[in-house]
Amino acid sequence: MSTLWTPSGEHEPKNSKNIKEDPIDPSKEEELEAQQRLEDIREQLAQADVRELIANHCYGLFELAAIYLSQSPPKLEEATVAIDALNGVVTALKGRLGPNEHTITEGLHQLRLAFVQVSVLKDRDSEAAGGRSEPSEKDPSS
């Protein structure tokens, strides 16, 4: 609160301590906006086709596995987890994934093939470097 100037000097009004300045709290405003955005997203999700949403998640798992397989050296254990997760969705929802089911299933087969190819190359590189070949992680092609 500002002071009041008088000829005898600056004075603070007696009841100024009881008057609260309550500017809008930016963090509170941001929180309300975030809550509103979250509600909007939830509403959009509720209106979306569940098969499309699950297909998007499957594509994410595919990409995740491909990223791990493309690392140098490849991260086979991590790729196995992503491939197994995708396999779990495909297996559990067989016949219920809608128009994207064929594409998702084909992607899973491609990942399995890539896993085997990368595993063989990794084993060859290890042997060529004179190292002992470590047993490969669980083969997700089963």
Walk along the chain (142 residues) and give the pLDDT tens digit of each residue: 566 666 666 666 665 555 555 566 678 889 999 999 999 999 999 999 999 999 999 999 999 999 999 999 999 999 999 999 999 999 999 999 999 999 999 999 999 999 999 999 888 877 777 755 445 555 665 5
C-alpha–C-alpha distance, residues 69 and 138, integer Å:
14
Other C-beta atoms closer than 10 Å to the C-beta of 118 total 20
Q: Where are the domains of the chain?
A: 26-128
Q: Do residues 82 and 33 touch, judged by C-beta distance below 8 A? A: no
Q: What is the pTM of this model?
A: 0.67
- Helices and strands (DSSP H and E) totals, the chain: 4, 2
The letter for the amino acid at 54 is: I
Angle CA 52–54–56, to nearest 5:
70
